[in-house]
Structure 1
Amino acid sequence: MVRTADLKYGISGLKNHLQYFLHSKELGTTGGKLIILYHGIDYRNSTRYNTRFISIRKFEQEIVLLKKHFKVVDLETLLHSPLRTDALEVAITFDDGYENNYTMARPILEKYQVPATFFISRPQGCGYDILWADLIDMGVNEAPDEVMIGGVDFHKIQGQHRNSEGLDLKTLCARGSRTFLDEVYRTFLPYTGFMQKPEMAPYWKLLSEDQIRDLSNHDLFKIGAHGLMHSSIHLLSLEEAGRELSGSKSILEEIIQKPVNYFAYPHGVANEDSVLLAAGLGYEAQFLANPSNLEHMENVYNRMGINPFISARGQTYCFHHRHY
């Protein structure tokens, strides 16, 4: 049976694909600026474990089309250059810090001489080698149908652990305290058989310190911070938010021996308090990934995430219009 959501995405993707051919000569000619957000690359364009990754083949197709139709620049240039009216300037970013950014995306970016900024989460700084979201998503099949976290029972319903109010565990993790997240890790880490399967590595394995240094030392690439535990900064106490912001900055600066002055918000959302806090800690630019009323604030920028359900040409058409 075809799911309604899949059918909707399929129809929308087909329309965008056709629009590319109808309007290809117009693409990129209207001017403006666009920051593009990727997360990860895999071999198969699978959405089984998340809906943030695209295949290495599709990624290369998109890079070729970006170079063909738009003016691709590094993030710093895009932020500080005058607004062009004759071409759409685009800059590429990656969030989370997956190893596949290094092993799969980097060679393609080098091949086409395309710059990128990598915003990296470092749960390793808290003793963990995997992001909690991937631990839950990939460990759910092995985990018991019922788990207790923070004194609350969660029952597995349609592949997700939910509390009695129907809230799923991942939603609560995004705004959870460090204590809550530690308990989530203790609960799910025994169910990590997927970590022993090499074919699963692209979906959870994070960049090593050596890989981060190598990216940082490359002329095309820049490193930014993305928090320690991938928590929603604006939903934390100011004390915990400060630890996330300052901790990720200091850890990355220690690794690359360079200033880390850009911060991308996990889950793409911030508020005025978090923006002011981050600026006070030395972040010169901050990046979102959702519609926001914060772009009037100094040095706050939105980004457009990719859609794994549409073709590379359809995606290029959407980049041109800066919406889906």
Structure 2
Amino acid sequence: MTEGNFVDYVKMFVSSGKGGQGSAHLHREKYIEKGGPDGGDGGRGGHIIVRGKSNLWTLLHLKFKKHIRAGHGEHGSKSRSTGADGADVYVDVPLGTVIRDTETNNILFEITEDGEEKILVEGGKGGLGNWHFKSSTNQTPRYAQPGLPMEEKHVTMELKLLADVGLVGFPNAGKSTLLSVITSAKPKIADYEFTTLKPNLGIVKYREFQTFVMADIPGIIEGAAEGKGLGYYFLRHIERNSVLLFLIPADADNIKKQYDILLDELRRYNPEMLDKERIIAISKCDMLDEELKSELQTELDNELPIPYLFISSVAQQGLKELKDMLWRILNN
């Protein structure tokens, strides 16, 4: 998937169908001048239904659909004939999509399973025909119910990627390089900050044909929780990850301080992020000789509160151990 084709945020106006009107018809035949009421009910208006699809990874197909309307129910007719229901409209979305009311910003529901269906706006109920209102004191009611009106709503759809492992780090920490090496993903890689402008997903192949999914999001900077940089806009993509993999380059001035800043940004965005399993990968370790690595390791053993390991995506060092550690945590 190219960077420009990844769409994770759309707004649209949705409108269900209105219910059909009930019929006030009175039965008439050649030799029956004053038959009883036989008006049928109106049909139900169409629903707008959101449906989960596991083969979708983006909201691109909805990017230019700003208005979605369901069909109206048809009116009832004679001989107690019920009007046809309005056509339902299905809106397919990738798993992990959150639907909000744009005006109130309240979450209406989330789609997390393949084939899961939720009614976004209900079609209006069809009106009752006049035969429902016949009684001993009113043999020929000449009225029927109108159908209920349509339901309209402005909604916002946000995609939160469903991945097993989320990569967290500052810009230019080597997240995209790692993803390109251990998966088949082809993210944009360059030697400047914010090369990654959209999230990338990759499938990591493990032993015995087993796999897990890794997500790379644009780099976080200090102040991301307040909207600085690109981090705030994409932090929601790691809300659903089981494991957070912090990537910190070996040439960082202070590895522990960088980890603390990243962790604080996650906490300020959503404190529940801290409940996830976390590990640290010290990237670009091919720049260190054995003596420097040993000194750094002694220092980190006393400072870091979570498991860590040294890796180099370019030199293919430590990647097997990283996959083993991630698989162990995911299946613990």
With normalisation by structure 1, the TM-score equals 0.25
> As a proportion of its length, which structure holds more helix?
1
Which of these two proteins has the greater Rg computed from alpha carbons?
2
Query: Relative contact order (C-alpha < 8 Å, sep 6+): which is higher?
Result: 1
With normalisation by structure 2, the TM-score equals 0.25
> As a proportion of its length, which structure holds more strand?
2
